[in-house]
A = this chain, B = another copy of it.
């Protein structure tokens, strides 16, 4: 077991095949519908029940997407928001999205890791579907997150909108649970 010189995250081939990445999206409802559809496709392809999309607020074009690929790509970091931020910044060739006006759509409210990643990403807006309660109801843990996290993001210049297409987003979580999908919560991982 020798040291690793590169870590590579891959965009699954089905993304370009099954999602329309080229048509501009208009309004929060359409952008969240796209993000929830991504989450649903991801569980059908064996991934976790979370999707994220980074959208140019001016043009409505999708800059990058991500989904929960923790188990598939063998990295606990690979939550949907982290993946979307990684691919978005790689596409821009910059460590910050703040050169544009980018929105992060997440099919569920962020865990503490992804909350932090959102702050540093340079995104100007975070829009969420399912609630923390919805994710907890199927066994996921958001980690040690501040109760006032929305106000803390807004204080840092990031607008937050919760509960967009919440019922649809929750339905993806329930579909994952019904399939018996793995729940990974760090040391308390399912065996």
Contacts and interface: CB of A to CB of B under 8 A. Distances in A.
B11 A9 contact: no
Contacts of A112: 112, 115-116, 119
Please tell me how many copies of the chain the complex holds. 2
A14 interface: no
Interface of A: 1-11, 16, 21, 64, 70-71, 73-78, 82, 85-87, 89-96, 98, 111-117, 119-122, 124, 143-146, 148-149, 152-153, 156-158, 184-189
Given A116-B116, A117-B77, A122 B7 contact: no
A120 B74 contact: no
8 closest A-B pairs (Cβ-Cβ)?
Answer: A113-B116, A144-B152, A112-B116, A76-B120, A157-B187, A4-B90, A8-B8, A7-B9
A122 to B, nearest CB: 6
